[in-house]
């Protein structure tokens, strides 16, 4: 059985970052694209992001055709936003 010591755990987690964690970071490139796209484009992109059968690669390839500097990895990370391995964009 693992005994969790909250004080030590918090200190260890803070040490991982080397500094107190910032509550918010800048949006990822997908979030920035959403923020700057016109509403129909942003809405279509949100639908694509929320459709699991559409791969991150095909979304990234499409955005890149229109000048978005987006990788399939960034799309996957944006889809996990809010999770520990996702980006910091709001849900
Ligand atoms: Zn994001």
Whole-angstrom distance, CA of residue 8 vs CA of residue 83: 23
Ligand 1 centroid to 14 CA: how many Å?
A: 23
Ligand 1 centroid to 13 CA: how many Å?
A: 23
The separation between CA 65 and the C-alpha centre of its own chain, rounded to angstroms, equals 21
**Would the pLDDT of 89 be above 80?**
yes
In this prediction, what percent of the chain has a pLDDT beyond 90?
Answer: 59
The residue-averaged pLDDT of 44-72 equals 94
pLDDT attached to residue 66? 87
Q: How many residues does the chain have?
A: 91
pLDDT attached to residue 27? 86
The angle that helices 39-49 and 72-79 make with each other, rounded to 10 degrees, is: 80
């Amino acid at each position: 059985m693992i005994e969790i010591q909250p004080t030590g755990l918090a200190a260890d987690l803070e040490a991982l970052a080397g500094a107190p964690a910032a509550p918010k970071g800048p949006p990822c490139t997908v979030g920035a694209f959403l923020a700057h796209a016109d509403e129909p484009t942003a809405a279509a992109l949100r639908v694509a992001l929320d459709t699991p059968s559409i791969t991150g690669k095909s979304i990234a390839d499409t955005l890149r055709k229109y000048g978005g500097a987006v990788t399939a990895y960034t799309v996957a990370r944006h889809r996990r936003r809010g999770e520990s391995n996702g980006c910091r964009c709001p849900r």
